Amino acid sequence: MISGLEALERLREGNRRFAAGSRSLNEQADQLRRAETAQQQEPFAIILGCSDSRVPAELVFDQGVGDLFVIRVAGNIVAPSQIGSVEFAAEQFGTRLVVVLGHSRCGAVAATLEQLQKPAENQSPNLASIVERIRPSVEGLLSSEPDDDRAALIERGVRANVVASVEHLKHGSSVLEQLIESERLLVVGAEYSLETGEVEFFSCGQPITGQA
Ligand SMILES: [Zn+2]
């Protein structure tokens, strides 16, 4: 298995190709990869991303069949089933990089801010369970942004929500904590821009260099 840093570099390069409109994969390569990976997989990165239709992980990182272990949920939140999925991939395949991938104009973050500002009484409990996961990371922002700057508020909310998910993954599981401590797992945050197609990575406290 390649290191977390090598995996990160591979994602950066793939995203550069995607943003530049020069994707490397074609149908033939997909078929070949399908045959190669039918018996076993060795995904080099775990992506916990938002369900938003405009942020398909394999496409934005220009990767193919068998390359990425992807968990998608609205608002890239971290609940027990997401932690379990990351644990599974890290332990089962030895994957050494986890990327929490948020994105600009995230509807789940916007909905959470809206709910905080104007609570709807009859919100579905299932949807509320997502909003409740996002709430702690964004509610502190409400007092610092004037009401009319909604776009800036969502932008900061997206970033804060990614950072919170990274922290939750790092500290919400003894399995992952041990892997991180022994430098066998790197967890980073990232934000995808719907406008440019570019992904910006950020470390969320853990240095991106010299780890995993
Ligand atoms: Zn989203």
Instruction: Quote the radius of gyration of the chain (alpha carbons, Å).
Output: 17
Q: List, in sequence order, the alpha helices (H) in 38-173.
A: 57-60, 80-93, 107-117, 125-138, 150-171
| pLDDT tens readout for residues 152-208 | 999 999 999 999 999 999 999 999 999 999 999 999 999 999 999 999 998 765 556
Is it the case that residue 211 has pLDDT exceeding 50? Answer: no
- Tell me phi and psi for residue 41, to 5 degrees: -120, 155
- Ligand 1 centre to CA of 105 (Å) is 7
- Ligand 1 centre to CA of 40 (Å) is 31
Q: What is the pLDDT of residue 95?
A: 98
Closest by CA to 116, choosing from 105, 133, 131, is 131
SS3 call for 38 = coil
- Ligand 1 centre to CA of 34 (Å) is 29
97: how many CB neighbours lie within 10 A of its CB? 27
Mean pLDDT for the chain? Answer: 92
Is it the case that residue 144 has pLDDT exceeding 90? Answer: no
Mean pLDDT along residues 135-149: 81
24: how many CB neighbours lie within 10 A of its CB? 12
Helix H or strand E segment including 108: helix 107-117
Decide: pTM greater than 0.85: yes
Amino acid at the residue 201: F
pLDDT > 90: what percent of the chain?
80
